[in-house]
Structure formats: C-alpha cells, structure tokens
Amino acid sequence: MQVDFAHGFIWFVAFLFSTTVHEAMHALAAWRLGDATAYNGGQVSLSPAPHVSREPVGMLIVPLITSLTQGWTIGWASCPYDRHWAERYPKRAALMAAAGPCGNFLIAFAAFVILRSGLSLGWFVAPETASLDSIVELVKGPSYVTTMISVLLMQNVFLGTFNLLPLPPLDGSAVLSGLLPERHAVAVREFSSNGMMSMMGLLVAWQVFPAVTDPLFSLLLRLVYPDASYS
C-alpha cells in the first residue's frame, strides 16, 4: 500500500495536538477539582513536550510510524493523578475523566464550524468522494489546509467517542463509576484497577469501536452536507 507521507504527517501532527489537548484538559480539571499531581508535573500545558516526555512511545514513536506507514494514527497517552483523591472524590474523578474527551469534542466542533463557514462563504466545496481526510476541498482543488481541518474533525470525534466507551482503562469507565450509586461504583473501580481487566477492556474496545466508525462518519457528512448525500 502506498502512503502519501505528507498526508501521513498531517495525521501525526493532528494526533499530537489533539492528544495534548486531551491530556491537558484532564490535568486542568484535576487541578481545579483538588488534585495538583498533574499540575505539579507540568501537564497543564498545551505544549506537547511534558506529555511526550511522559509517554514517548505512545505519543511520538508509534503515532509517527503508523501515520507514515498506514496513513492513519494509533497512539496513547496518560495523565498522572492521585488515586487516593479519586477514591475519596469519585464524582470529581469522573469530571476529570470526562474533561479529556470534552477537549476532543471542542476541537471537533471548532473544525466543524470552520468547514461549514468555508462552505457558506464559497471557500470550500464538496469533494467528489469524501473520506476521513477529505471532507471538503478548496475551490481550486485539494489542499493540505482542508486535509488538516478534515482530519481534526474526524480524528477528534473518534478519539472522544472511543475514550468514552465504559471499559477500563478508558475514560468512560471512570465517568460511569461517577454516575453509579456508590456500591456499584466501588465494584466498577475495583474492576478497573485490575491490570488484566484493563487489558481485556482495551481488547474489547478495539473490537467494538470499528462498528461505530462508519455510522459516525456518515452522521458527520450529513451534518456538513445536510442537503446532499454520499453513497
């Protein structure tokens, strides 16, 4: 399979930015809610440096390799927090967990507004064939600018949705525990703290999530082009 390295690099840059925002939002929410662990570690930052320093393989090496060889990005990151604080304040911990995906959805919303505005102003047009990295094109033809905006929209919708799956070690598991009655929340937290269960949760998430990517993509196309359709 031939990969356009320029497009692959756009996926990598978008992933680095989106993941940095995701982790910074976790850190900011934790700090504002009483846990300064990530703040003291420099994670309340939109610079990728402290986040890459914490997870160099997941934020740099694997994303760069997959972006340049596959044309899409796989990676991971993490944000330090005080587990005793999370156990003492499960509702706050749930808000902290939800903050990361919220950061992704904010980026996606901004990209969506830019796409719709560009279409309304006549700067962008619909491509002949829509794809994850080509939701719009400039009037004069394909552009790396529209590729970046398209990738930021799709990648962040996918990242936010994937992380909200209620499976450990994803953010959705902590969000779920904050919504449940305490006796059930304790069971969820104990389940999530088991390393083997976390591994199984990731495996299940990777099997489940592909089933929702096509519907998500179709939904976004309908929102961008409410009066048109793509086969």
Q: Does residue 229 belong to any structural domain of this protein?
A: no
Q: Does residue 149 belong to any structural domain of this protein?
A: yes
Domain that holds residue 99: 5-223
Q: Does residue 82 belong to any structural domain of this protein?
A: yes
3-state secondary structure of 97: helix
Q: Does residue 228 belong to any structural domain of this protein?
A: no
Q: Does residue 230 belong to any structural domain of this protein?
A: no
pLDDT value of position 130:
93
| Element at 222 (helix H, strand E) | helix 210-224
* Structural domain count of the chain: 1
> What whole-number distance in Å separates Cα of residue 26 and Cα of residue 160?
13
34 Ramachandran zone, left/alpha/beta (phi>0; psi -120 to 50): left
> What whole-number distance in Å separates Cα of residue 69 and Cα of residue 1?
9
> What whole-number distance in Å separates Cα of residue 33 and Cα of residue 13?
30
pLDDT tens, N- to C-terminus, the chain (231 residues): 456 888 999 999 999 999 999 999 999 999 999 999 999 999 999 999 999 999 999 999 999 999 999 888 999 999 999 989 988 998 999 999 999 999 999 999 999 999 999 999 999 999 989 999 999 999 987 789 999 999 999 999 999 999 999 988 899 988 988 887 777 667 677 766 666 777 788 888 889 999 999 999 999 999 999 987 665
pLDDT value of position 71:
85
pLDDT value of position 229:
67
